[in-house]
Amino acid sequence: MSPHEIPFVRLLAPFLAGIALGAAVERPVSGLWIGLLLGGAVVMGLATRKQSFRYRWVYGTVLAAWLLAAGYWHVVEHDERRWSRHFTTVCPEAVAFVGIVDDAPDKGGKVKIPLRLEAAAEQAGEWQVCEGYLLLLAEPTPKSEALRYGDRIWVAARARPTEPPKNPHAFDYQRYLHYRNLHYQAFVRDSIWGLVDRGHGNWLRRTAYAWRERLLFVLREYFPTQDEYAVASALLLGYKEDLSEELRTTYAHTGSMHALAVSGTHVGLVYAALYFLIRRIPWRGSWKRWGETMLVLLGIWTFALITGASPSVVRASTMFTLFLVGKALHRRASTWNVLGATAFVLLLYSPYHLFDLGFQLSFAAVAGIVGIMPVLQRYSPRMPRWLQGAWAVLLVGIAAQLGTLPLSLYYFHQFPVYFWLAGWVVVLGGALYMWGAGLLLVLHALVPQAAEILGAGLYYWLFGMNQVMRFIQHLPGSVVQGIWLSTAAVVCLYVCIAYSTAGIFHRRPRWLLIALSALLVVMVERLIRQVEQVRQCQAVLYAAGRHFLFDFFDGSQLYVWSDSIPQRRERFAAESHRSALGFLKPSERFQASFSQPFRAPNLLVQPPFVQFSDKSIAVIEHAGQLGNTTGVPVPVEALILRQNAQVRLTECLRHFAPKTVVIDASNSPGRARRWAAEGDTLGLAIHDVQRHGAWRLRVR
- How far is CA 189 from each of CA 42, 115, 125, 193, 356, rounded to the nearest angstrom? 56, 15, 21, 7, 31
H-helix or E-strand containing 278?
helix 264-278
Whole-angstrom distance, CA of residue 346 vs CA of residue 19: 13
For residues 687 and 692, what is the distance between their CA atoms, to the nearest angstrom?
Answer: 7
> Cα–Cα distance between 432 and 424 in angstroms, integer?
12
What is d(CA 354, CA 420) in angstroms, rounded to the nearest whole number?
28
Distance CA(607)–CA(596), nearest Å, equals 9
- What pLDDT does 262 receive? 64
What one-character-per-residue DSSP string does 193-221 give? Answer: EEEEE---S-HHHHHHHHHHHHHHHHHHH
> Quick one: DSSP state of residue 541?
E
Element (H, E) at 620: strand 615-620
CB atoms within 10 A of CB 411: 15
Torsion 238-419-529-600 (CA) sign:
positive
- Adjacent-strand bridge partners of 121: 96, 127
593 touches 548 (CB < 8 A)? no
Residue-wise over 94-127: b if at least 16 C-beta within 10 A, else e?
Answer: bebbbbbbbbbbeeeebbbbbbbbbbbbeeeeeb
For 374-471, strand residue ranges (E) read 414-416
Instruction: Indicate if the alpha-carbon torsion angle 101, 259, 268, 272 is positive or negative.
Output: negative
- Asked whether the bond before 164 is cis by omega within 30 degrees of 0, the reply is no
The C-alpha atoms of residue 241 and residue 222 are separated, in whole angstroms, by 18
What pLDDT shows up at residue 284?
66
Non-local CB neighbours of 170 within 8 Å, separated by 6+ positions: 572, 573, 576, 577
What are the beta bridge partners of residue 388?
A: none
Exposed, middle or buried, 506 (CB in 10 Å: 0-12/13-18/19+)? exposed
What's phi and psi for 85, nearest 5 deg?
Answer: -105, 25
Angle in degrees, 0-180, between the axes of helices 264-278 and 357-379, rounded to the nearest 10? 70
**Dihedral sign computed on CA atoms, order 569, 574, 580, 581:** negative
What is d(CA 484, CA 120) in angstroms, rounded to the nearest whole number?
Answer: 44
Report how far residue 14's alpha carbon sits from residue 63's, in angstroms, rounded to the nearest whole number. 9
Residues 624-659 pLDDT 10s = 888 655 568 889 999 999 988 899 999 999 889 999
Q: What is the pLDDT of residues 587-637, one digit of tens each?
A: 999 987 767 889 999 999 998 899 999 999 999 988 888 865 556 888 999
Q: Which residues pair with 382 in a beta bridge?
A: none
CA–CA distance, 629 with 609 (Å, rounded to integer) = 9
Residue type, 522: V
For residues 389 and 140, give the distance between their C-alpha atoms in angstroms, rounded to a whole number. 46
Q: What DSSP designation does 3 have? A: G
The residue ranges of the chain whose pLDDT is under 50 are none
C-alpha separations of 475 from 416, 418, 468, 686 in Å: 11, 9, 11, 49
Show Cβ contacts of residue 73 under 8 Å, excluding neighbours closer than 6 positions: 18, 22, 29, 32, 33, 36
C-alpha span between 265 and 404 (Å, rounded): 15
What is the pLDDT, as a whole number, of residue 167? 95
Tell me the C-alpha distance between 96 and 159, whole Å: 9
Distance CA 496, CA 697 (A): 38
Query: Is the separation of the CB atoms in 537 and 696 below 8 Å?
Result: no
CB 415 within 8 A of CB 480: yes
Sign of CA dihedral 210, 211, 215, 216: negative
CA 276/CA 272 separation, integer angstroms: 6
Distance CA 488, CA 524 (A): 12
d(CA 89, CA 85) in angstroms, rounded, equals 7
